[in-house]
Amino acid sequence: DAKTTQPNSMESNEEEPVHLPCNHSTISGTDYIHWYRQLPSQGPEYVIHGLTSNVNNRMASLAIAEDRKSSTLILHRATLRDAAVYYCILRDRAGNNRKLIWGLGTSLAVNP
Amino acid sequence: EPEVTQTPSHQVTQMGQEVILRCVPISNHLYFYWYRQILGQKVEFLVSFYNNEISEKSEIFDDQFSVERPDGSNFTLKIRSTKLEDSAMYFCARGTGIGANVLTFGAGSRLTVL
């Protein structure tokens, strides 16, 4: 399974943008880039995913490098509720292998 | 879409006892998953279930584990004889969106084995 590398932790101030990086240099052409987050004492929550083009949704934006070997999750205005562990995961779009392989993620602290 | 509901939220059991964890994801979904997370560790894949059959399982999912969809709506994970190391949060998830490419997780069931 292709692996991802994320910083262990990051810190932000409330209402400021946050850029969470992820390296995935061994990504294959059929891998989607998924981001999930896990708030304290809760189940994981889907944030966003993309393949090649940048993506936007109500929660965040995903900027994907042209060579797809890295990506950045962008929270445009961090809130206290965004304090969570953020996971960058590669998921093969082909075949029946749909499981997610989780790393340790980035623990985001948001200061008031 | 409605959320994934898991019961019980917390179960305490003695080592060697059988445990059944339940998940109600909605009957018209095809892809379901169980994951677990030992306190302070990574989320680990256990098993995926597609069209009422196991499609993939991890090394963790040994003969002590089984999954069923007994009535077309509930989705259960059974641990036949619990061990201390089975203590963890167990998350059920269903596949949603185009191609069931996105997972929607439940809040989890915390299992404590004494």
Q: Give the tens place of pLDDT for each residue, B20-66.
A: 999 987 656 678 899 999 998 989 999 998 878 898 899 999 999 99
Q: Is A16 helix (H, G, I), strand (E, B) or coil?
A: coil
Residues of B with CB under 8 A from a CB of A: 4, 31, 33, 35, 42-45, 48, 50, 55-56, 58, 91, 93, 95, 99-108
Q: List, for residues A4-51, the tens digit of each pLDDT value.
A: 999 999 999 999 999 999 999 999 888 899 999 999 989 999 999 999
Local confidence band at A1 (pLDDT 50, 70, 90 cut-offs):
low
Q: Which among A43, A91, A100 is the nearest to B106, CB-wise?
A: A43
β-strand pairing of A84-92 with A31-38: antiparallel
Residues of B in contact with A87 (CB under 8 A): 43
| Other Cβ atoms within 10 Å of B47 Cβ, number | 20
Q: CA A18 to CA B56: how far, in whole Å?
A: 36
- Nearest by Cα to B92 from B27, B5, B13, B20: B5
B35 vs A99, higher pLDDT:
B35
Q: B8: cis peptide before it, omega within 30°?
A: yes
Percent of chain B with pLDDT over 70: 91
Cα A53-A79-B108 angle, rounded to 5 deg: 80
Which residues make Cβ contacts (< 8 Å) with residue B17, sequence separation at least 6? B81, B82
